Amino acid sequence: MGTLQAISTGLTGEKQRAAWQSDALLAAAAAVLSLVANWLQGANKLVQSGGDSDSLMRLVQVRDLLAGQGWFDLVQRRLGLDGGVEMHWSRLVDAPIAGLIAVMRPITGSDAAAEMAVAYIWPGLLLAICLFLIVRMARQVGGDAAAFPAAVLALAALHFMAIFAPGSFDHHNLQLALLLGVVAALMSGSGFGAGALAGALASVSLAVGMETAPVVAASGAAAALVYLLRGATERDIAAGFGVGFAALALLVTVVTLQPGMWASVRCDAWSAAQASLAVLAGLGLAACVRVPAFGESLPRRLAALAGLGGAIVLLAAIAFPVCLADPYATLDPMLKRLWLDWVSEAQGVLSLLSQRPGEAAGYLATPLLALSVIVWCAVREPGFRRSAFILAPVLIAAIAVSVWQVRGAIFAVPLAVVPLAMLVARARKAAAEGHGIAPALLMALAWLVSFNIVWNMGVTRVTALFAPVQVDTAASGDACYTAADFNQLGELAPVNVLAVSNLGASILLNSDHRVFAGPYHRNVEGNLAVLRALTAESETARSMLAELEVGIVAHCPGNDETLALAAAFPRSLLAEMRGGSAPEWLQPMSAPDGSPLVLFRFHP
C-alpha cells in the first residue's frame, strides 16, 4: 500500500512539474511573440514615446543613479524651478533597470545600445512573468484545458494595453506582475510560505506606487475573508500573509528611506504613514489568526477581524488624516483645469463613455463579465468558492479604481482573464462533446466576449456610425514624441528650455537642457510658471521668460497640449507662436526639413 501511495505521489509531482514547465514555455513564447510584433511595428518608446512621459522620465532617473546620484536622493535637478523636483517614485524600480543596463554595457559596447537592449529585456521579462502567473491561476480554477485560452486572452489583453511595449520603464508593468503574484500565491493555498510570499509582494507593490493601495487592501481582505469563512484550514496562509506584509513593510522602509526620513509622512509615496498601517494590518492579521480564542467560531473570527479593521481606520484617521482626503484636492485650480483634467489615466472610465466609448468598453466589459462568471460559478460549484473569495475582492477593487481613474484597468483586465479562460475552456469542451452548430456558436461567442479588444473595436465601430470619428493627435507624427524630433535641441549647449509639460521628459532624456514643466503633480511651481507664461499675452510673457532666465522656447504646434492651450487662450503667446506670428524677441532657429519641433532663441 505504501509503495502504491509513493508511486501515486511521484506521478502527481511529475505531472505538476510538467505543467509548470509547459506554462513557463507558453508564457515565454507568448512574450517573445509580443516583442517581435512590437519590433515589426516599430513600437519602441525610446524611439517613439507615444506620449509616455513616465517611461522616459524613469530612464532619466536611472541614468542619474548610474552617474552617481545618491540612492536616497530622488531629486530631478533638471526639472522645475531652482533646486529641482523630488520625484515620488521608488528606487525599487530604478535598481533592476539600472542593474540590467550595467550588465549590458560591456556586452553592447555603449550606453545607448545597452539602454536599447534593456528596453526590450525589462518589459519582456515582466510580460513573461505576468503571462505565466495568469496561466497558472487559470489552470488551477479551470483545469488543464484553461491554460491555452488563458495564454491567448492574456497575450491579447497585455499586448494591446501597451504597458509591456519596448521601452516601457514606467512602474505599472512591475506593479501588475507583483499583484498577480499576490493573487496567485493566495490562490495556491500552500500554507504559511505562500501566504508570506503574497504579503511580501503586496508590500513591495505598495512601495513601488500608491496606485495599488486599493487592490493591495483588497488582497489583504481576501486573505482575511477565506480565513473568516473557512476557519482553521486557512490559518497558515492568512498568518503568513500578515507576517510577510509587515516584515517587508519594515524592510522597504529601511531600504528606501534614509534614517532621518523614517518618521516622515508622504501620502503619495512610501513613508511612515504606509509603513505603520502595513505593520499594524499585517501583525494584527497574524494575531487574529494565531490566538486560539479568536478563531474558535465564525462570530469570534468576525469580531476579531472587525476589531482589526477598526484599529487600522482609527490609526489612519488620527495619525494620517491628510492621506484620507482627495489626493488632488489641494492642487492649484489652474493646474487642475489646464493639466490634470486632461490627463487620460487620471480620468474615470465612466467619464470616457461620452468621449471614447470604445475605450471605456475595453476597460470595463471583460472585468464585469469575469465578475459575473465568478459569482455564477461560486453559487453553483462549492469547489470554486475558495478561489472566488480571493479573485472577487481584488477584481472588484480594480474595477472600482477604474471607475475613478482608468489606470485601475491595468489590473482589472488581466485579472479578468482567469475566470474568462475557464469559461472558454468549458465552451470548448461542450463544443467537442456536443452535436450540431449551437455548441460551436457558443464557443465562438465565449472567445469573442472574452477579448477586451473586441469590445473596444466593436463599440467604436458602432458609435462611429452615429458620430464623427475623432482623431487623437497625441500619437500622430507631428506631436513631437519621436526621439529624432529632439536631435537639434540635443546638439545645443545646455540652457533653460521653456516647453509644454508633455515635452518635458523627452527634452530631459534627449538633451542636457533643463526644463520647467513636466506632467508630475509635485512640480507645482514649475508647471504653473510655464502655464502662466504660455497663456499670457506676449508682453507679459516676455517679462516672465526673462525672470525664469529662459534660453530657448521649444514649440510643437501639433502637440495636443499646445492645441488645447492655444484654443483656450487665443490671445496668448502660445497662440501667436502657433499662428506663425511669434514676437520679435523670439528668434526662430533654423530647423531640419520636416522637423515638427520649432525652436526660438529668447532675447529679452
Q: Summarize pLDDT for 240-275 with one digit per residue, the tens.
A: 999 999 999 999 999 999 998 998 998 889 999 999
The answer to whether 549 and 489 are in contact (CB under 8 A) is no
| SS3 sequence of 230-290 | HHHHHHHHHHHHHHHHHHHHHHHHHHHCCHHHCCCCCCCCCCHHHHHHHHHHHHHHHHHHH
- What value does the mean pLDDT of the chain take? 90
The answer to whether 289 and 227 are in contact (CB under 8 A) is yes
Confidence category of residue 345, pLDDT binned at 50, 70, 90: low
> 346 vs 322, which has greater pLDDT?
322
Q: For the residues 432-436, what does the mean pLDDT come to?
A: 84
Residue 478: the pLDDT is 77
Straight-line distance from the first to the last Cα atom of the chain, in angstroms, rounded to the nearest whole number: 94
pTM of the entire structure? 0.92
Residue 346: the pLDDT is 64
CA distance 384 to 140: 10
pLDDT of 125-144, one tens digit each?
999 999 999 999 999 999 99
CA geometry: angle at 603 spanning 597 and 604, to 5°?
Answer: 125
Confidence category of residue 328, pLDDT binned at 50, 70, 90: low
The number of beta carbons lying within 10 Å of the beta carbon of residue 397 is 24
CA distance 40 to 488: 27
The answer to whether 521 and 328 are in contact (CB under 8 A) is yes
Using the predicted structure, report yes or no on whether residue 496 has a pLDDT greater than 70.
yes
Helix (H, G, I), strand (E, B) or coil at 601: strand
Using the predicted structure, report yes or no on whether residue 238 has a pLDDT greater than 90.
yes
CA distance 82 to 374: 53
pLDDT of 553-586, one tens digit each?
999 999 999 999 999 999 999 999 998 889 999 9
Using the predicted structure, report yes or no on whether residue 54 has a pLDDT greater than 90.
yes
Q: For the residues 327-334, what does the mean pLDDT come to?
A: 71
Residue 356: the pLDDT is 83
pLDDT of 379-412, one tens digit each?
999 989 999 999 999 999 999 998 887 878 899 9
Q: Which residue has the cell 486573505?
A: 223
Using the predicted structure, report yes or no on whether residue 433 has a pLDDT greater than 60.
yes
Share of the chain above pLDDT 90, in %: 74
Give me the residues paired with residue 586 across strands: 602
What is the per-residue burial (b if ≥16 Cβ within 10 Å, else e) of 162-176? Answer: ebbbbbbbbbbbbbb
Using the predicted structure, report yes or no on whether residue 485 has a pLDDT greater than 70.
yes
> 390 vs 592, which has greater pLDDT?
390
- Residue 26 in grid coordinates: 507558453
| SS3 sequence of 493-542 | CCCEEECCHHHHHHHHHHCCCEECCCCCCCCHHHHHHHHHHHHCCHHHHH
Residue-by-residue DSSP string for 440-474: HHHHHHHHHHH-HHHHHHHHHHHHHTTSPPPP-GG
Using the predicted structure, report yes or no on whether residue 352 has a pLDDT greater than 90.
no
Confidence category of residue 80, pLDDT binned at 50, 70, 90: very high
- Plot region of 555 (φ>0 → left; ψ -120 to 50 → alpha; else → beta): beta
